Amino acid sequence: MIKNDIWINQMAQKGMIKPFEPRLVRKVDGLPVISYGLSSFGYDIRLSPAEFRIFRHIPGTVVDPKNFNPDNLEPTKLYSDSNGSYFVLPAHSYGLGVALERLEIPENITVICIGKSTYARCGLIANLTPGEAAWRGHLTLEFSNSSSADCRIYANEGVVQLLFFEGEPCQTSYETRSGKYQDQSEVVTLPRV
């Protein structure tokens, strides 16, 4: 069953989402922002300003998830103007960011991270990312710019929505099996095997 705002708020008070915004924020200091915070059946998390990396082509190399070359990911600059702080994801490229909020998922919950329609309408696709039962940390977020134009991705503003699904308690949670992405910090986490 999908969990509602009442449950999300109660669990956030117990530390499931930090920092937590108990309402959907659409303006900060009178200026419009891409919404973040609690919604009816989800929570919109923000993109951290700490780091964003873009895949780049290195002639003669192939991206290999079993032997990942960090040189294939280039850090990108955080820009700021009157609209806020943002990273630029070039046209037809792929990038990795990290969630500002830290999550502690309960053992009977799985979280699905989906893209926001505001970005989808600009051609920016957020990869569907799970947060498994008893997972902790800052989610590494994956974005594809499918448009023929560069796209801004705003830091400290809503970037993806989390949906929380409850199930029967599992036999082996992410924590008990010592999942390789447990306790990710607020930096982009590279592929691990």
Q: Give the per-residue pLDDT at 9.
A: 98
Catalytic residue among 104, 142, 175, 186: 142
Instruction: Give the homologous superfamily in CATH for domain 45-166.
Output: Deoxyuridine triphosphatase (dUTPase) (2.70.40.10)
142 tagged catalytic: yes
Rounded Cα gap, residues 33 and 190, in angstroms:
29
Residue 76 has pLDDT above 90, yes or no: yes
Confidence of residue 60 (pLDDT cuts 50, 70, 90): confident
**How does 56-71 read in b/e, with b if 16+ C-beta sit within 10 Å?**
eeeeeeeeeeeeeeee
Q: Give the per-residue pLDDT at 57.
A: 84
For the ranges 38-42, 58-62, 72-76, which has the lowest average pLDDT?
Answer: 58-62
Rounded Cα gap, residues 113 and 77, in angstroms:
25
Q: Where do we find the tokens 């059946």?
A: 41
Q: Give the per-residue pLDDT at 59.
A: 87
Q: 106 versus 191: which is more confidently predicted?
A: 106
Q: Which contiguous run of DSSP H or E holds residue 11?
A: helix 5-13
Confidence of residue 62 (pLDDT cuts 50, 70, 90): confident
Segment 118-168, tens digit of pLDDT? 999 999 999 988 999 999 999 999 999 999 999 999 999 999 999 999 999
Residue 50 has pLDDT above 90, yes or no: yes
Average pLDDT, the chain: 96
Segment 161-175, tens digit of pLDDT? 999 999 998 999 999
Q: What is the pTM of this model?
A: 0.94
The amino acid at 191: P
